[in-house]
Structure 1
Amino acid sequence: MASWTVDSPQRLTLDEPVTSLKVDLVAGRLNVVGTDGPARVDVTRLSRRPVIVEHRDGVLTVRHERHPRMPGRLWWLGQFGRRFRADVSIAVPADVPADLTLVVGPLVASGLRRQTQAKVTTGQITLMGVRGRTTAKIVSGSVEALGVAGDLSLETVSGEVVLADSAAGTVRAHTVSGEITCDLDNPRGGEIQLSTISGAITIRVRRDSDLSVHLHTTAGRITSGFPEVRDRAGLGGMRESEGIIGTGAGKLWASATSGSIALLARPVGDEKEEELP
């Protein structure tokens, strides 16, 4: 087992292989990237409390040293959070599963290909080019997912969810108070579930998509850029629209309690086509 107590800006390079990553920091900035080179931990900014880096049986752990009588995470959101601020960048092999926790601050994960869990209490989560199974949860703040694939689950209590340039097979996004905005490629055979209690939902998919669509709002409007998706009678003030786009191989389900839903059609020629060699 190798262990370091980092109390000043420092870069560590690990010669031994890393099979999983676990990060648990209180405050600061966290950036994790998948790479082909050796694992590295770069601490660029540090306040009073040191950062503990441990490597044991392939597991790389980066954490703040905690008080043994810590009364709970919300205790750190006040003045004590400033004692634990650290800006940390970590590079690990792209196929390493990652469990990332940050109480206060922005968290960025990119290039990871296997399994990623990101949890933030107050701040922001940004996912870029991740693959595999990805889960992101935040209490207060936004979640952005760009160019993701695989199975994706996004959840926020108070904040916005943005998903763009995505070909994810399974998407589940939920907000209690906040908007959901999705710009998706053709999710053939995929399943998309979007829900919000207080907020609007905007979805844009390719005009040649293959989707079975069901949209529902309790107190709001539904607009659709696809003539195949039509209104159907709802009870009271509820609105519902459903229909089949293309072959209907994929599923799109969106529900808003207090908010409107907009389904937009993106022209097929709106994106750059890759040239075959």
Structure 2
Amino acid sequence: MTHLKIDRPRRMTLEGVAAVRSFTARGRIQVIGTDDDDVTLDVSEIDRHPISVQHRDGLLFLGHHGTGRQHVAKGRLRHRPSQHAVIYLAVPRHCHLDLWSVSADVLVGDSRGDVQVHNGEGGTTLNQLSGAVEVETSSGHVDAINLSGDVEIRSVSGTVALYATPRRTRALKLSSVSGDISVCLSETADARVHLESVNGRVSSQFRGIVPVRMPGHHKAKGDFGSGSASIWASSVSGRVVLLNGDNLEKTEGTRIAD
């Protein structure tokens, strides 16, 4: 078992890691999948609040001292001192990731394992992920591109942008309270699409996505190909937009549902 605290910039290598759980307050954490069996941990910036590192039975835990899941979920760290750190992790591609943040930026790329991100005010950027992805955020933005597994993103007021080529038996579920949602698809996508907003505008650049007239709701739906995959995007008061990735110069879309 490894148990230590990092209170200054440091780089280290760890063996036998199958899963990572992190709790960061502010700053940035970047996790990249590699073909190496070992994990490289690089803390390039840190203030006077140390990072705790524990490695036991394949689980690597790292986070600010006194920062845990219940503190992040309940927003109890908002009024604490800065607790700032910049962390880089290179992990095996099949490593499971469970990343918690108060307002740090979270970046994840080139991973085949399942990824969970719970972020407050920080931005979340995802790229080249093939495992199941689950993101929950408060006011931070979510940008996702080249995701090939099931995806669920829940936001309160942050914007959500997803660039996807849905495959068969794949589910994409996006929801927000007041944040805008944009989904960018190729014309060759194979999916059933459902767009909905109670008070926000719903728009699409695809003629095959047609409005559904319902009192008190703005809805649109339609199929690409056989519709074997599913895309469901819903907001209470945010705008929901479907973009044509093969013709991105149409930036404003065509209004189809009031």
Give me the TM-score of the superposition, normalised by structure 2.
Answer: 0.81
Question: Hey, what's the Cα distance between the residues in 1 that align with 2:5 and 2:16?
Answer: 20
- Give the letter aligned to residue 175 of structure 1: S
**Alpha-carbon distance, 1:262 to partner:** 4.6
Matched, 1:101 2:100: yes
Report the identity percentage. Answer: 30
Q: Does 1:20 align with 2:19?
A: yes
The one-letter amino acid paired with 1:41 is L
Q: Tell whether 2:149 aligns with 1:170.
A: no
1:75-224 → structure 2 map (5 Å cutoff): 75-78=76-79, 80-82=80-82, 84-167=83-166, 169-184=170-185, 205-206=186-187, 208-219=188-199, 222-224=202-204
1:113/1:219 CA distance change after superposition, 3 Å: same
Q: 2-side partners of 1:110 and 1:224: how far apart?
A: 28
1:18-69 CA distance string (max 9 Å, x none): 111111122221111111122111011111111111211221111212289x
Residues in 2 aligned to 1:240 and 1:51: alpha-carbon distance in whole angstroms: 46
Runs of 4+ in 1 over 6 A off after TM superposition: none
Distance 1:3 1:152, change over 3 A: same
Other-structure match for 1:187: none
Q: Hey, which of these two has a bigger chunk of strand by percent?
A: 1
Aligned counterpart, 2:64 = 64
Q: Is the 8 A contact 2:198 2:235 kept in 1?
A: yes
CA-to-aligned-CA distance 1:185-239 (integer Å, 9 cap, x gap): xxxxxxxxxxxxxxxxxxxx41x4444444444446555544444445x344545
SS state at 2:75 partner: helix
Q: How far apart, CA to CA, are the structure 2 residues paired with 1:137 and 1:123?
A: 11
> Does the 8 Å CA contact 1:147/1:167 hold for their aligned counterparts?
no
User: Does the CA contact (< 8 Å) of 1:26 and 1:81 recur in 2?
Assistant: no
Can you give the 5+ residue segments of structure 1 that lack an aligned partner in the other structure? 185-204, 271-277
Question: In the aligned structure 2, how far is the partner of 1:251 from the partner of 1:75?
Answer: 36
Cα RMSD, aligned residues only:
2.9
On the 8 A contact 1:218/1:237 being kept in 2, the answer is yes
Indicate conservation of the 8 Å contact 2:171/2:229, yes or no.
no
Paired amino acid for 1:64: H
Distance 2:97 2:33 in 1: 10
Letter in 2 for 1:77: R
1:194 is matched with which residue?
none
User: Match of 1:176, as an amino acid?
Assistant: V
Distance 1:13 1:141, change over 3 A: same
Q: Does the CA-based 8 Å contact 1:6-1:52 persist in structure 2?
A: yes
Residues 151 and 44 of structure 1, relative CA distance in 2, 3 Å threshold:
same
Q: What are structure 2's unaligned runs of at least 5 residues?
A: 250-258
Aligned residue type for 1:22: R
Question: What is the number of residues matched between the two proteins?
Answer: 243
- Deviation of 1:248 after TM superposition, in Å, equals 3.4
Larger Rg: 1
Q: TM-score, normalised to structure 1's length?
A: 0.76
